[in-house]
Amino acid sequence: MKIRVVIPSITREFEALGLEQYSPCARPGTEISVTLLNSGPASIESRYDEAVAVPDIVSKVVAAEKDGVDAVIIDCMADPGLDAAREMVSIPVVGPAETAMHVASMLGHRFSVITILDQLAPLFDRHAAKMGVVERLASVRAVNIPVLELDDSERVVKALIEQSVKAVKEDGAHVIVFGCTGMIGLAGEVKKGLVEQGIVDVPVIDPGMLAVKVAEALADLGLSHSKRTYPTPPEKEIVGY
């Protein structure tokens, strides 16, 4: 099986990094490939960043289908371009936020999202509302570290643990969901940090890794999004894309 990860960024070093981070999630026989954007932002931290990333995200998803991959993951917790991309292809396109919020709702009573910046809280709240799981969202908290500084993983882990403990103790979270796919691979350490603080009973969801598993599951089953919800757009003149 072939899975393509579309990283919605023009930052070159994310290509090797993404491959390194995503490959261990794949099961034997699943081949991960990674693609960056040619046009778009260095990182996504606002709806404007999202807006200028989406057109090339969609073209990368279209290219992935032409390349014969079995499923695509959009590597960002804003799920940028998810709807538009699904209109343009038939293969499954997996949004880490959509997936993680639904799975979190299955695993426990209430979940908290720990994201990068405070100002992104309304985004998650509305995303959860759109999906119908807003009653299950205990809180949105932030480590307040920008995407491009997430490579300092020690600092990130420490901040994630701190906010996760607060989410559990103050907000009533029963499940923790990372709020940025740039936090991929840190669930083990965060879980360990929670246990050290006596919180032994709270799962930690790494949306990037979960997206790989769900992509594999959908592809195995031959399931994809409904083209009745995401119909192929009518043909028309488009300038600049």
Based on the shown chain and the rule CB under 8 A, indicate whether residue 97 belongs to the binding site for a second copy.
no
Among 15, 33, 63, 87, binds a second copy (CB under 8 A): 87
Is there a contact between 113 and 124 (Cβ–Cβ < 8 Å)?
Answer: yes
Cβ 189 to a second copy shortest distance, Å: 13
Cβ 4 to a second copy shortest distance, Å: 18
Residues 149-208 binding a second copy (CB under 8 A) are 168, 174-175, 200-203, 205-206
Distance CA 70, CA 126 (A): 30
Among 15, 83, 162, 189, binds a second copy (CB under 8 A): 83
Q: Which is nearer to a second copy, 6 or 103 (CB)?
A: 103
Residue matched to tokens 């195995």? 220
Among 19, 51, 158, 185, binds a second copy (CB under 8 A): 51
DSSP-assigned beta bridge partners for residue 221: none
Among 7, 34, 96, 136, binds a second copy (CB under 8 A): 136
Based on the shown chain and the rule CB under 8 A, indicate whether residue 96 belongs to the binding site for a second copy.
no
Distance CA 32, CA 35 (A): 10
Based on the shown chain and the rule CB under 8 A, indicate whether residue 58 belongs to the binding site for a second copy.
yes
Q: Which of 72, 60, 73, 136 is nearest to 102 (CA)?
A: 136
The region of 14-22, 66-74, 158-166, 225-233 touching a second copy under the rule CB under 8 A is 225-233
Query: Dihedral, CA atoms, 3, 218, 59, 76, nearest 10 degrees?
Result: -80
Phi/psi for 16 (5° steps) reads -65, -40
Cβ 240 to a second copy shortest distance, Å: 3
Pairing of strands 111-115, 175-178: parallel
Residues 2-21 binding a second copy (CB under 8 A) are 10
Among 23, 33, 46, 153, binds a second copy (CB under 8 A): 46
Phi/psi for 177 (5° steps) reads -125, 125
Q: Which is nearer to a second copy, 196 or 231 (CB)?
A: 231
- State how far Cα 106 lies from the chain centre: 17
